[in-house]
Amino acid sequence: MSRRTVLALPVAVGLIALALFAQSGCSKSSPTSPYGGGGGGGGGGGGGTVEPFSSGNFTSSNAQGFVHTFTNTGSFGYTCTIHNMPGTINVAASGPDSVTVDIVNFAFSPNPASVKTGGYVHWINTVATAHNVTR
Ligand SMILES: [Cu+2]
């Protein structure tokens, strides 16, 4: 009886210690964990300011579009990540206030498209095939 208690006690203490250790280790490591909101990254591209955007997938024709306003001059490439379709938006100090880019079959039209600084591009998927617009 008493022997059993003596044996069980160290085991219980050990388990508690393990639990505490695991907890503190967990909370300690979370600020540096990969889920801690990384950030950074980016860069790349020579000279031009990176303006990331993502439309998400257009899953039907004409029902959905996507608008992005370009605030910096430069030449900005983008793709449909589903089909690796390349597109380019050229942004200059002067030019149209906005431009509509149709997605027709497996291409952007017009491509490249031009807009002035502060103007926006409106992409419309004209086909039933799912596409997206991602930079
Ligand atoms: Cu596509």
Tens place of pLDDT per residue across the chain (135 aa): 445 544 444 443 333 333 333 343 333 333 333 333 333 333 334 445 767 999 999 988 876 799 999 999 999 999 999 999 999 999 999 999 999 999 999 999 999 999 999 999 999 999 999 999 999
pLDDT of residue 70: 96
> 6 CA distance to ligand 1 centroid (A)?
69
- Ligand 1 centre to CA of 50 (Å) is 22
CB 103 within 8 A of CB 127: yes
Alpha helices in the chain (DSSP H): 2-29
**Spacing, Cα 98 to ligand 1 middle (Å):** 22
User: Beta strands 107-109 and 120-125: pairing type?
Assistant: unpaired
Tokens in use for 120?
A: 């926006």
Ligand 1 centroid to residue 7 C-alpha, Å: 67
DSSP string, 44-111: -SSSSPP---B---B-STTT-EEEEE--S-EEEEEEETTTTEEEEEEEESSS-SEEEEEEETTEEESS
